[in-house]
Homo-oligomer: A and B are copies of this chain.
Amino acid sequence: MTGRVMIIGLGPGPAKWVTPEANTLLAEATDIIGYGPYVARVPPSKAVRHASDNRVEIDRARHALELAADGAQVAVVSGGDPGVFAMAAAVFEAVEVGEESWRELDIVVAPGVTAVLAASARIGAPLGHDFCVISLSDNLKPWSIIEKRLVAAVEGDFVLALYNPASKARPDQIARAFEILRRKAGERVVILAKAVGRPDEEIVYTSLKAVEPADVDMRTLVLIGSSQTRMIAREDKEPWVYSPRRWEA
């Protein structure tokens, strides 16, 4: 059988958000490669598991391509969607600079429910109209382009989702991001959606002026409303957050 790389999105956590395609491909895998916590989510099988640390994406990608070149059926697993700040781009980067023969490999990408969709569903319909998705990590891009994108997102009055908003190595960037957004946008609805769908799920309903950067951690998806985003208050219950489909200046 010809080798194959299957780049698979496992969704935000619970089995209810794993697509049938992801499960079918995982069942065909001879090898499973990924960051430890994602590999641990794959149901038991005879596949060889190659769990690795965070931040070694390119090594992982090369390993997958080498195994597939030797005939293996390799599943590369990511949380959420593999194309959104996850393993898919790393695999194609490795292909472009790697062995010429890797271009002949069968590479399939299986989309998944990415965090911003799960977080939005959890709180209502904040994405109701146009939106931007930005990773706040400056491991691979300069902070200047992140800043430029935050400004552009406000200038376009987009709803904005921030992935990777904070980590132990980057505790302060989210405060800088909020400061830029406040300066450009004034007040906005802000939602901190932590670990949506997982046992430690926690939702904070706040605003650009009131948000506490210390409440943001690496499990958090930060959603910042557009000028139109609204909260519907409810008695004794969490509010619903939504952005009307209609936009009025």
Please give, as numbers and ranges, the residues of chain B lying within 8 Å of A112 by CB-CB distance. 113, 117
Expressed in whole angstroms, the minimum distance between the Cβ of A241 and any Cβ of chain B is 8
* With known contacts A21-B16, A117-B114, A232-B92, A158–B132 Cβ distance under 8 A: yes
Expressed in whole angstroms, the minimum distance between the Cβ of A60 and any Cβ of chain B is 13
Question: B249–A145 contact, CB under 8 A?
Answer: yes
Quick one: CB contact mask for A20-37 with B, threshold 8 Å, 1 for yes?
110010000000000000
Question: A152–B156 contact, CB under 8 A?
Answer: yes
Residues 77-112 of A contacting B (Cβ, < 8 Å): 81-85, 88-93, 95-96, 103-104, 107, 109-112
Residues 114-142 of A contacting B (Cβ, < 8 Å): 114, 117-118, 120-122, 124-135, 140-142
CB-contact partner of A124 in B9, B81, B109, B235, under 8 A: B109
CB-contact partner of A242 in B9, B89, B234, under 8 A: B89
In the complex, the chain B residue whose C-beta lies closest to that of A109 is: B121
Expressed in whole angstroms, the minimum distance between the Cβ of A131 and any Cβ of chain B is 5
Question: A129–B124 contact, CB under 8 A?
Answer: no
* With known contacts A15-B20, A133-B131, A245-B57, A125–B96 Cβ distance under 8 A: no
Expressed in whole angstroms, the minimum distance between the Cβ of A103 and any Cβ of chain B is 5
Question: B158–A149 contact, CB under 8 A?
Answer: yes
Expressed in whole angstroms, the minimum distance between the Cβ of A112 and any Cβ of chain B is 7
Question: B125–A130 contact, CB under 8 A?
Answer: no
Which residues in A have some Cβ–Cβ distance to B below 8 Å?
7, 9, 11, 15-21, 24, 57, 81-85, 88-93, 95-96, 103-104, 107, 109-114, 117-118, 120-122, 124-135, 140-142, 144-145, 148-149, 151-153, 155-158, 230, 232-235, 237, 240, 242-247, 249
